[in-house]
Amino acid sequence: MLVNNRALLARLKAYDGPPARLMEVCGTHTMAIARYGIQQALPERVELVSGPGCPVCVCEPGVVSVAIKLAGRPGVILATFGDMLSVPAGAGSLSQTRAGGADVRVVYSPAQAVTIAEQTPERPVVFLAVGFETTAPAIASAVKMAKEKRLTNLSFLTSLRTIPPALRALSNDPEIKLSGFLLPGHVSVIIGVKPYQLALSDSGLPAVVAGFTAGDILQAIDRLLTLIHSRSSAVENAYPRAVDFMGNAKAQQLLAEVFVPADISWRGLGVIPRSGLVFTDAYKEFDALGKHSVLVEDELPPTGCRCGDVLAGRIRPTECALFSTACTPQSPVGPCMVSSEGTCSAYYKYGGGQVEK
């Protein structure tokens, strides 16, 4: 279905419903919104807020420190997605660790970690497995592959989170006054639309699944504003090209086979019940924590770091005293600035989506 941008833009500008605060919970949406200047296509009464949609940003620093520690052990190969390299944690960063001589390898697919482990059977391989539901099935598939190939030298240091519980927590938080949610299109490819209906049933906030082109985002916002205006609590799918109501059953089955929900802490947000994924008993042997006898320790955020408040949508990046002073992309204090999809990084690069004319 083609989108008529001109008419859509005019309709958005003409929105005269109640003031609306819309939260998106996907780092790729954060970037697309900044890159297309979407905020400017909206009237002043509609505000876009970034939520905790960046898996790199919400990964607990203690996990990064464990990755650094393991990378420093003799013979270990630490495989990671590229966006985790510069994340600052108590023990430093993986890129610093690599510069110091550790064997840290960037991969773009969890299947590569399996290949590395196969090619170097005498060396322990640890894959730092960070992501939301878009990535978790791929990781689950790699874990299953490892089991089938009997790779005893491969383990996974997981930091996996699920979106609907976070939405429930945010929608029920009285401090964060939201009118509705833009839902992450590719997470939804996996989980479908139904989990959001359950998560939002208490708060009654409407939500719309959105794709990632400018047209997709505008259409989804238009739909969401229509729902808000009519005081609807509906959850709708504006990305039917890729998202089915029931999601990807095969991916969901794989997830259920390898992982099980558990309470997990989100950097800056605290523990959100049943919002994490940990290994089922059948696959526990692949948990890096058990295999290498390490524990994730709590780490206090650096002084003055307000990533937590930013991630929860309580403050804008500019309201953090460190923003663009002590904390910049070149010298980030917290993960919101270092991740290419982080809220503060997007704000810094794109001027908060607003330009003075």
Partner 1 sequence: MCLAVPAKVITIDGLDAQVNLQGAELSARLDLVEGVRVGDWILLHAGYAIQVLSEEEARETLELWEELEGAGE
Partner 2 sequence: MNRKEEYITLAHGGGGTRSWELINEVIIPSLGVESIPLEDSANLGNISGELALTTDSFVITPRFFPGGDLGRLAVIGTANDLAVAGARPLFLTLSLIIEEGFSIGELGQLLSSAGQASQEIGCSIIAGDTKVVPRGGLDGLFFNTSGVGEVAILPAPSVCGVVPGDELVVSGDIGRHEAAVMLARGAFGISGTLESDLAYVGEGLFSLSASGITVHFARDLTRGGLAMALYEAAISSRVGILLKEIDIPVLPQVQGLCSLLGTEPWNMAGEGTFIAAVAGGEGGRACDILRSVGFMQAQVIGVVKSAYPGARLGQVRMLTKIGTERIVPPPLGETNPRIC
Asked if residue 118 binds partner 2 (CB under 8 A), the reply is: no
User: What minimum distance in Å lies between the beta carbon of 327 and partner 2?
Assistant: 14
In angstroms, the CA 204 to CA 137 distance is 29
In angstroms, the CA 142 to CA 123 distance is 18
Q: How long, in residues, is the chain?
A: 357
Helix axis angle for 27-36 and 343-350, nearest 10°, is 10
**The only residue of 1, 16, 40, 122 in contact with partner 2, by rule CB under 8 A:** 40
In angstroms, the CA 81 to CA 59 distance is 13
> Which residues face 130 on adjacent strands?
159
Site string for partner 1, 230-269 (x = CB under 8 A): -----------xx-----x-xx--x---------------
Question: 242 is in the binding site of which of partner 1, partner 2, none (Cβ under 5 to 8 A by kind)?
Answer: partner 1
**The only residue of 11, 28, 103, 173 in contact with partner 1, by rule CB under 8 A:** 28
Q: What is the DSSP letter of 318?
A: G
**The only residue of 7, 11, 34, 153 in contact with partner 2, by rule CB under 8 A:** 34
**The only residue of 44, 108, 122, 300 in contact with partner 2, by rule CB under 8 A:** 108
Residues 115-174 binding partner 1 (CB under 8 A) are: 131-132, 134-135, 137-138, 141, 144-145
b/e sequence 272-291, b meaning 16+ C-beta within 10 Å: beebbbbbeeebeebbbbeb
Asked if residue 58 binds partner 1 (CB under 8 A), the reply is: no
Asked if residue 330 binds partner 2 (CB under 8 A), the reply is: yes
User: What minimum distance in Å lies between the beta carbon of 25 and partner 1?
Assistant: 10
In terms of C-beta density within 10 A (0-12 exposed, 13-18 middle, 19 or more buried), how is residue 121 classed?
exposed
In angstroms, the CA 158 to CA 141 distance is 14
Interface contacts to partner 1, rule CB under 8 A: 1-6, 9, 26-29, 53-56, 81, 83, 108-112, 131-132, 134-135, 137-138, 141, 144-145, 184-187, 189-190, 211-213, 215, 241-242, 248, 250-251, 254, 341
